Amino acid sequence: MTDYTDLKREVWDRDMCSGCGACVGSCPLEALHFRGDDNPVFDGLCSKCGTCYSVCPRTERDVAVAVSRVPENKESIGPYRERYFARSSDFQIIKRAQGFGVVTSVLKHILDEKIVDAAFVVTSDIFMNIHPMIARDFSDVKKSARVKYIWTPVLSKLREAVLDESIESIAVVGVPCVMQALEMLDRSKLGLYKKKIKLRIGLFCWEIFRHILISEMIHKELQLDIDPSRIWMFDIRHRKLVVELTDSTEYQIPLETASRYARKGCNYCVDFTSEWSDISVGNAGAAKDFLTVITRTERGEAIIQDMIKGGKLVTGEFDETVFSLAERVNKKKKLRIKNFEVREKD
Ligand SMILES: Cc1cc2nc3c(=O)[nH]c(=O)nc-3n(C[C@H](O)[C@H](O)[C@H](O)COP(=O)(O)OP(=O)(O)OC[C@H]3O[C@@H](n4cnc5c(N)ncnc54)[C@H](O)[C@@H]3O)c2cc1C
């Protein structure tokens, strides 16, 4: 029998928590919460049902599951059906998006076509406070466009969506740990979650930053006093974290420096391309003016094919050499597993 104390000992106390929010969003007694940037806290009653433990993608057992998927040559990008270079065909979407609006276009398509009733996305207020949001239509989805490199526990609101009787099917957009947690949910006894979560849209991700990136790093590393409301977006280009302000001024911080502000739990992630998703999207390995799109399931492939045929996505010629960058980054991230092995011997 496991409970939150096992999770605390195995994951939280060892700084391995990915912050996906699955434990918070699945606790039937709503006893787990995030207060700040670090680990969940327990404040309530525990029935020792073991749900929180069973959905965590960072428990020893589940890291073992992840490890077992690391292929021998450590170069695979995980199971897939097709790989594309693609971008949205809608210029208005591209203008708002981080890259070329593939994720926003997929969300628009699946909500318009009623493939799902709602989508889990991430949005921010003007002060760069990031939070998860349940989008029901394109006007909600528009608020989520662009990547917030700042962490938020995406799945912490999951129970709210799953228990909502007006929602029968849900899509989730998230980074690899969120996709891993959805896989754990699928394997757990939580039947309703399994029934309702119909589509996983995974983003490529090396690491995610804590909110102090804004409050501390910009002051310390850039020696700037920037009001968060002036930040238009973050981007990662040529191994630099780029901070772009609303007046188009740009500042750059080497990724090695920015990495000091990443969540510690990211060190235990061996997945760059969101291997447990239906559709994965990222910049790495894409030709100019496109994003890399990987379909991994029949459902994911059918959606992308429909969108291409319907003129909602434009594709370019796929080039193995260009794509190999995604494989190289993926390989590098998989080698991080050594960190975990070292930790095991502590
Ligand atoms: C934390 C993070 C790190 C990333 N790191 C890399 C990387 O190293 N290399 C790479 O090639 N690609 C990375 N990506 C993915 C990449 O930046 C783009 O998201 C991807 O190319 C899709 O672009 P788009 O124009 O289709 O997205 P858009 O159409 O702009 O949609 C963006 C989507 O991302 C979701 N989102 C935004 N912020 C978050 C967040 N904090 N957590 C979960 N979901 C979020 C939004 O809900 C929205 O649905 C990262 C994404 C995130 C969120």
284 and 180 inside one domain: yes
Of 245, 261, 277, which residue is a domain's last?
Answer: 261
CA atoms within 13 A on the CB side of 278: 18
In a domain, residue 90? The reply is yes
What CATH code is carried by the domain that includes residue 229? 3.10.450
In which band, very low, low, confident or very high, does the pLDDT at 48 lie, cut at 50, 70 and 90? very high
Boundaries of domain holding 179:
82-209+263-343
Pocket lining: 273 vs ligand 1, CB cutoff 6 Å: no
Pocket lining: 99 vs ligand 1, CB cutoff 6 Å: yes
Per-residue pLDDT tens digits for 276-314? 999 999 999 999 999 999 999 999 999 999 999 999 999
Q: What is the pLDDT of residue 25?
A: 95
257 and 268 inside one domain: no
Instruction: Round the CA-based radius of gyration of the chain to a whole number and report it.
Output: 19
Residue 31: how many other CB atoms lie within 10 Å: 18
Q: What is the pTM of this model?
A: 0.93
In a domain, residue 42? The reply is yes
In a domain, residue 105? The reply is yes
Pick the atom of ligand 1 nearest to 100's CA. 25
Per-residue pLDDT tens digits for 98-129? 789 999 999 999 999 999 999 999 998 877 78
> Ligand 1 mean position to 92 CA, how many Å?
18
195 and 283 inside one domain: yes
58 and 177 inside one domain: no
Instruction: Please tell me the total count of domains within the chain.
Output: 3
pLDDT (average), residues 223-238? 81
In a domain, residue 278? The reply is yes
- Give the residue, by CA position, lying nearest to ligand 1 atom 21: 282
114 and 167 inside one domain: yes
13 and 53 inside one domain: yes
In a domain, residue 77? The reply is no
Pocket lining: 206 vs ligand 1, CB cutoff 6 Å: yes
Pocket lining: 200 vs ligand 1, CB cutoff 6 Å: no
pLDDT at 43 over 70: yes
In a domain, residue 75? The reply is no
In which band, very low, low, confident or very high, does the pLDDT at 73 lie, cut at 50, 70 and 90? low
Pocket lining: 323 vs ligand 1, CB cutoff 6 Å: no
